[in-house]
Amino acid sequence: MDLNGSQMVVEALHKESVSVVFGYPGGAIMNVYDEIYKQNYFEHILTRHEQAAIHAADGYARASGKVGVAFVTSGPGFTNAVTGLATAYIDSVPMVVISGQVPISMIGTDAFQEIDAVGISRPCVKHNYLVKDAKDLPRILKEAFYIARSGRPGPVHVDIPKDVTAQIADFTYPDTITMKTYKPTYKGNKRQIKKVVDAIAQADRPILYIGGGAVNSGASELVREFAEFCGIPAVETLMARGVMGDSNPLLMGMVGMHGCYSANMAMSEADLMIAFGPRFDDRVTGKLSEFAKHAKVIHVDIDPSSIGKIVDIDFPIVGDLKNVLTDMLPLVKEKIDSDKYKSWRELLKRYDEIHPLGYNDNKDNIKPQWVIEEVGKILGDDAIISTDVGQHQMWTAQFYPFSRPRQFITSGGLGTMGFGFPAALGVKKAFPDKVSINISGDGSILMNIQELMTASVSKIPVINIILNNGFLGMVRQWQTFFYDKRYASTDLSAMQPDFVKLAESFGGRGFRVETKEEFVKALKEAVKSDAVCLIDVNVDRLEDVLPMVPAGGTLYNMILEHKE
Amino acid sequence: MANSIKNEEIRRVLSVIVTNEDGVLSRISGLFAGRGYNIDSLTVAPVPETDFSRLTIVTCGNARVLEQIVKQLHKLIPTYKVIESVEFVEKEMALVKISINEDFNGLDAMLKAYNGTIADSGENFIVVMVADNSKRIANFLKAIKRYNPIEIVRSGSVALDI
Ligand SMILES: Cc1ncc(C[n+]2csc(CCOP(=O)(O)OP(=O)(O)O)c2C)c(N)n1
Ligand SMILES: [Mg+2]
């Protein structure tokens, strides 16, 4: 079948079962938009900024596990997308992003809206393509989707010059694909798996260190089964929140810079660390020479380059966690006796009793942590929670009662302010029946506030809860602790938008909340509303995120008290 | 956990077989630049009768860095194979331009010692050529100084496992 390049793009997306895409048009991508206009296969959501289009596709992908798709034009359209690509790449999110490019004949001439897009995206994506001929498009698009979702997932960028989008060639979309140079390892080495089980059987103080790989692998059920059968306590990274389910007594909580006391102590005192798909981020490990000093380390990961990158690994297993656990569980059931770790579990429980995660609630003002707990009480499983970046993000990770993976959508590796709102739009498109909440800050929300328009026009009723502390709070907290309270450029209180009027001017609903009663009322109304909502909650300005391990500090030396 | 300090710098010759396509060299050089790895030398040429190219990269780093370099190279989608050479023949080439007015006394013996030849000559100069391993090339270039070379060109290494 002969098609032009733009028709090929539309057909390929159809073959890949894409149901929604996000994007923003412009000169170089207009041919493709013309074909998008003509088709009925998928819905196109016009965001109001390219960065938001990428984050929306990203939120869609994180919530659903499917490949997110976005379109942008050349030049500034593409450069606006870069933050989104980098955000998705470091968090291993499957996406295909298609950008327009100036015609091939003009590449290299500094043409209008020309930029070396593949040159820029190279370090921010799993792979990228500059399409030189329409005849290559079917293969390239097939590869793009395959690479995005296979192995360790990630974004793939396809840059298509305008003349290629008009060029006619044969379109035969490949059913299957094999690439000589790209073959992820899915099966773990059986002998190594056996050795690992023996190591677990010999350990006295094993700890399960669960990372985002457990979510990507779809292995949560198996991870829970493993933990429960063995009676091994677990900690979750930011990216793994929800894997164990917060009601599980084996879960010590989040680990790392703002991890729970018991979780960080568990890591520090373990004699065996069983790492399922984390990447030993510096926000988790703290000072490396002190990290898990007494532990042998097992690391299961689908990405060989993750293994041994930061710390030496005693038992590496390259493979998909789901497969590895499927092979491991029968051996575990033969050899592991959960009684062996009883005193270890009791020790950690005591740690949790000494310094439980908490805050001092009071009557005079609203504590930000209270808001998150309250959202959890009211919505619990019914909500999917996105966040922006800052204190509100950490409090959400600490205090929301997550019950399943993919319920918490957050920019972990890059820490991108402005991620939450557009991501929540993508979440809502993936799960229209769930409540899609973005917990944000008064700083972050303004970084993609224009998406109020997208939400209103495209009828995507997302609820934004702004924990308004009048500060770039997380930076302010560091200034309090480490810069003698010199609040350089972090006080936002001099002037703030009227968030109620702001929301209303975009056709949404706004709520200003000063008391707990008002918050509960506003949230309940927002859940019922068909409009996009902003709930501006006036919270205690100087609340800190605790515990805190200072950057480069040791995990077992946490700051546990507010600084007066 | 054995977080032993493996900081000894090791020289390593890597052969990387990649799909012969646009931009593959920038992926590799970008990887080295972006992650702060060293490239001592790099050569590229197509592998005859295939769709592949062969890069020979001479790099150095401690054991952890070298392990990461190999893994990161593997992770690039167009990479087919990364060969970490242990036993191999390594050759590098140097061309040296020398003025005809120099006293060539002893040059013949020196070229013989390094298996060198006179590659070409012009009205005012000759060009000598040697192919050898890096270390011997370096020695040769020291020795040739006494003929006051006008210009020296050194290729990167190529290596073949044995
Ligand atoms: C795009 C971007 N710029 C800057 C930062 C650095 N940064 C991290 S947290 C933070 C403050 C965020 O303030 P706010 O959204 O009000 O959240 P709060 O910490 O007050 O809850 C800043 C500026 C960032 N993470 N992302
Ligand atoms: Mg704030």
What are the pLDDT digits (tens) for A371-414? 999 999 999 999 999 999 999 999 999 999 999 999 999 999 99
pLDDT for B5 equals 52
Measured in angstroms, the CA of A83 and the nearest CA of chain B are apart by 17
Q: pLDDT of B82-92, one tens digit each?
A: 999 889 999 99
Topology agreement, domain B4-86 and domain B89-161: yes
Q: What is the CATH number of domain A2-170?
A: 3.40.50.970
Torsion of CA A213, B81, B78, B24, to 10 degrees: 120
Calpha distance A388→A445 (Å, rounded): 7
Mean pLDDT rounded to a whole number for chain A: 97
* Bridge partners of residue A99, in order along the sequence: A72, A159
Length of chain A: 564
Q: Is the CB of A413 under 6 A from ligand 1?
A: no
Could you tell me if A184 and A150 are in contact, meaning their C-beta atoms sit under 8 angstroms apart? yes
Same fold for the domain at A190-354 and the one at A368-538?
A: yes
A550, with CB counted inside 10 A (0-12, 13-18, 19+), is middle
Query: Which chain A residue shows the shortest CA-CA distance from B34?
Result: A123
User: What is the per-residue pLDDT for B1?
Assistant: 41
Per annotation, catalytic residue among A113, A192, A450, A496: A113
Q: Do B1 and A311 touch (CB under 8 A)?
A: yes
- The rounded distance, in Å, linking the Cα atoms of A90 and A125 is 9
What residues are paired with A511 via a beta bridge? A535
Cβ A92 vs Cβ A46: under 8 Å: no
Q: Report residues near ion ligand 2: CB below 5 Å.
A: A 441-443, 469, 471, 473
pLDDT digits (tens, 9 = 90+) for A333-376: 999 999 999 999 999 999 999 999 999 998 889 999 999 999 99
Report CA Rg, chain B. Answer: 19
**Residue A30 falls in the annotated catalytic set:** no
Q: Indicate whether residue A474 lines ligand 1 (CB < 6 A).
A: yes
pTM: 0.96
Return the DSSP state at B158: E
What is the per-residue pLDDT across A467-525, written as a single tens digit (0 to 9) for each?
Answer: 999 999 999 999 999 999 999 999 999 999 999 999 999 999 999 999 999 999 999 99
Q: A454-475 in b/e burial notation, b at 16+ Cβ within 10 A?
A: bbbebebbbbbbbbbbbbbbbb
Instruction: Name beta bridge partners: A101.
Output: A161
What pLDDT was estimated at residue A402? 98
Residue for token digits 């493993």? A226
Tokens in use for A159?
Answer: 């840059």
Residues for chain B: how many in total?
A: 162
Q: Looking up tokens 């690479």, which residue turns up?
A: A147
Q: What ipTM did this prediction achieve?
A: 0.93
Identify the contact set of chain A against chain B, taking CB-CB distances under 8 A: 118-119, 122-123, 126-127, 130, 132, 147, 179-182, 273, 288-289, 291-297, 303-305, 308-309, 311-312, 314
Tokens of A170: 């044969």
Answer whether B27 touches A (CB < 8 Å). Answer: yes
Give the DSSP letter of residue B18: E
As assigned by CATH, the class of the A190-354 domain is: alpha beta
Rounded CA gap, B40 and A231, in Å? 51
pLDDT of residue B2: 44
SS (H, E, C) A74-98: CCHHHHHHHHHHHHHHHCCCCEEEE
- Cα of B113 vs its chain's centroid, Å: 21
Half-sphere exposure of A188 (CA within 13 A, CB side): 28
Q: Which ligand is nearest to the CA of A389?
A: 1
In our burial notation (b when 16+ CB lie closer than 10 A, e otherwise), range A140-163 reads bbbbbbbbbbbbbbbbbbbbbbbb
Strand ranges for A162-294 from DSSP E: 168-170, 206-210, 234-236, 251-254, 272-276
Residue linked to tokens 């990461």: B68
Buried b (16+ CB within 10 A) or exposed e, A414-428: bbbbbbbbbbbbbbb
CA dihedral (A63, A69, A74, A77) positive or negative: negative
State percent of chain B over pLDDT 90.
Answer: 92
Amino acid identity of A298? I
The superfamily CATH assigns to domain B89-161 is ACT-like. Chain A, domain 2 (3.30.70.1150)
Give the largest Cα separation in chain A, rounded. Answer: 72
Q: What is the mean pLDDT of chain B?
A: 93
Please state, in angstroms and rounded to a whole number, the distance separating the CA atoms of residues A78 and A97: 10
Place of tokens 């170089």: A28
Q: CA-CA distance, A542 to A546, in Å (whole number)?
A: 12
The structural domains of chain A, with segments of one domain joined by +, span: 2-170, 190-354, 368-538
Multiple choice CATH, B4-86, 3.40.50.300, 3.30.70.260, 3.20.20.480, 3.40.50.1370? 3.30.70.260
Cα of first residue to Cα of last residue in chain A, in angstroms, is 72
Q: Give the DSSP letter of residue A136.
A: G
Q: What are phi and psi of B10, to 5 degrees?
A: -120, 140
Are B27 and B78 in contact by the 8 Å Cβ rule? The answer is yes
Domains of chain B, residue spans: 4-86, 89-161
| Domain formed by A368-538, architecture | 3-Layer(aba) Sandwich (3.40)
**Parallel, antiparallel, or unpaired: how do β-strands B88-99 and B158-161 relate?**
antiparallel
Is the pLDDT at A64 greater than 60? The verdict is yes
Instruction: Tell me which residue has tokens 């996009």.
Output: A532
Quick one: DSSP state of residue A16? T
pLDDT surpasses 90 at A164: yes
Catalytic residue check, A50: yes
Q: What span, in angstroms and rounded, lies between the C-alpha atoms of A130 and A160?
A: 6
Pairwise CB contact (< 8 Å): A181 & B74: no
Amino acid A463: pLDDT? 99
Which residues does A492 contact at the CB level (< 8 Å), separation at least 6?
Answer: A442, A443, A470, A471, A472
CB contact under 8 A, A308 and B67: yes
The share of chain A scoring above pLDDT 90, in percent, equals 99
**A113 catalytic, yes or no?**
yes
Strand partners, A440: A466
Q: CB-CB: which of A293, A294, A305 is closest to B75? A: A305
Cβ contacts of residue A139 below 8 Å, gap of 6+? Answer: A174
Q: Which DSSP category does A405 fall into?
A: T
State the Cα–Cα distance between residues A550 and A545, nearest whole angstrom. 12
